[in-house]
Amino acid sequence: MVPVLIAGDAHPALAHDIAKLAGTTLAPAQISAFADGESRIRIEADVRDREVYIVQPTSAPTSRHLMTLALLADAARAAGAARVGALVPYFGYARQDVRNHPGEPRSAQLAARVLRCAGVERIVTLDLHSPALESAFEMPLIHLRADELMLPTIRAWRLSDLSLVSPDAGGVKRAQRYAAALAVPLAVVAKTRPAIDVAATLHVLGEVRDRACVIVDDMASTGGTIAAAAQALLAAGAREVHAVFVHAVMAPGAVERICSSAVGKVVATDSVPTAPDPRVQIVPVAPLFAQALARIAGLGLLEPR
């Protein structure tokens, strides 16, 4: 039996696409707020003894969307659901998984505990900022990779003398996977971060001179990291630079910063809602999540209606 799918308020269009590919429809739920902003949730479907999955990336406003997800999970559990899971294409707070200074919380671990306490028994997510964060989840975690979505796009560009580039040391393993799949060299842009959301590029390690470079990252927030990495690659002799990132978090001005830089082609997924922009190619993630949902349910993937 196909699980019951409920859309949160963060990305209803993606929830609809996943439901369509999974051969089901979204169960109705009311998500509203009192005048002072306090969230109010009501599931308007019979979920008793059913497996329920809530579709909710915890993108901006991150705290509100995280709370909505927790409230929906608690509502489903209170309504008698046999099991409650969450499809979280983008897991907010994942950048804060370690304490860099005394007095800081481990926000990612706390967010995972909030969901567990709310009744979430399984999470399906996409390209966590840090793979080490998997150990913070006290419930089963299915960690999907965007590689199978992005690699065909890169291959379609037919770039000669290609190098895959990690824009920082933290993304090396991700870039290594792409480089190995494409059988091309790997390069890394070394940098320091003097302040939050500010990146100072130092130098390039690896083979980039006279080569086409594709930067691979898990997200673009301010766009500063990608823009600075592209400039460093050109200074090191790269012939052209393109960018692939999974989560288009995109703070105000980020698209302009990236597209006015040395970056040529830009590709991201729709793991978070983004305003349409002809300069950014969007690759849908619904097929990945529908397939994961079908495997969890022990079903073959149904054809779209």
Ordered domains of the chain (ranges, CATH): 4-145+286-296 (3.40.50.2020), 147-282 (3.40.50.2020)
pLDDT above 80 for 300 = no
Q: Which residues of 74-92 are buried (b: 16+ CB within 10 A; e: fewer)?
A: bbbbebebebbbbbbbbbb
- In the residue annotation, 173 being an active-site residue is answered as no
Spatial separation of the C-alpha atoms in residues 268 and 146, rounded to whole Å:
10
Tens digit of each residue's pLDDT (9 = 90 or more) over 190-245: 866 566 666 564 689 999 999 999 999 999 999 998 999 999 999 999 999 999 99
> Which tokens hold the place of 189?
């842009």
Percent of the chain whose pLDDT exceeds 70: 94
pLDDT of residue 25: 93
Spatial separation of the C-alpha atoms in residues 247 and 146, rounded to whole Å:
10
DSSP result, the chain? -PPEEEE-SS-HHHHHHHHHHTT--EEPEEEEE-TTS-EEEEE-S--TT-EEEEE----SSHHHHHHHHHHHHHHHHHTT-SEEEEEESS-TTTT--S-SSTT---HHHHHHHHHHHHT--EEEEE--S-GGGGGG-SS-EEEE-SHHHHHHHHHHH--SSEEEEESSGGGHHHHHHHHHHHT--EEEEEEEEEETTEEEEEEEES--TTSEEEEEEEE-SSSHHHHHHHHHHHHTT-SEEEEEEEE----TTHHHHHHTTTEEEEEEESSS-----TTSEEE--HHHHHHHHHHHTT-PPPPP-
- The average confidence (pLDDT) of the chain is 92
Could you tell me which residue, 304 or 8, shows the higher pLDDT? 8
Mean local confidence (pLDDT), 256-260: 92
Set 20, 173, 191, 265: catalytic member: 191
Spatial separation of the C-alpha atoms in residues 89 and 124, rounded to whole Å:
7
Percent of the chain whose pLDDT exceeds 90: 80
Phi/psi for 38 (5° steps) reads: -65, 130
pLDDT above 50 for 305 = no
Tens digit of each residue's pLDDT (9 = 90 or more) over 139-188: 999 999 999 999 999 999 999 999 999 998 889 999 999 999 999 999 99
Q: Among all chains, which residue has been given the structure tokens 């993937």? A: 301
pLDDT of residue 197: 60
pLDDT above 80 for 51 = yes
